[in-house]
Amino acid sequence: MDIRHLTYFIEVAKYKSFTKASKSLSLSQSTISKVVKSLEEELNVELIDRSAKKIKLTDAGEIVLAEGEIIMESLNDLSIHLYDLMNLKKGK
């Protein structure tokens, strides 16, 4: 799983729209659609209920969203820690 793809899915969840997520990410709608589908195939579960015009997350989608946000937090912590280390080395 590529963490970028997790962020794509999170963006889709946020906007409840592939098209809006694609614009927000400056990527094509096609790319977002395919990446989310590949995530679903990788996890072997449907993440999004596409039966209506306004899409919504499935229960599995809600789980992936919640855990995905935790992962994004960890990545943010990682950046912060590396940044702190860098400043420490510079003697700041």
| Site residues for DNA per CB under 7 A | 2, 4-5, 8, 17-20, 26-31, 33-38, 48, 50-53, 55
Of 53 and 74, the one with the shorter C-beta distance to its own copies is 74
- Do the beta carbons of residue 47 and residue 35 sit within 8 Å? no
If DSSP codes are grouped into helix, strand and coil, which group holds residue 43? helix
Of 30 and 76, the one with the shorter C-beta distance to DNA is 30
Run of H or E residues at 92:
none
What are 7's two structure tokens?
């962020």
Out of its own copies, DNA, none, which partner does residue 49 contact, by CB within 5 to 8 A per kind? Answer: none
- Do the beta carbons of residue 5 and residue 38 sit within 8 Å? yes
Of 51 and 88, the one with the shorter C-beta distance to DNA is 51
Q: Does 71 bind its own copies (CB under 8 A)?
A: yes
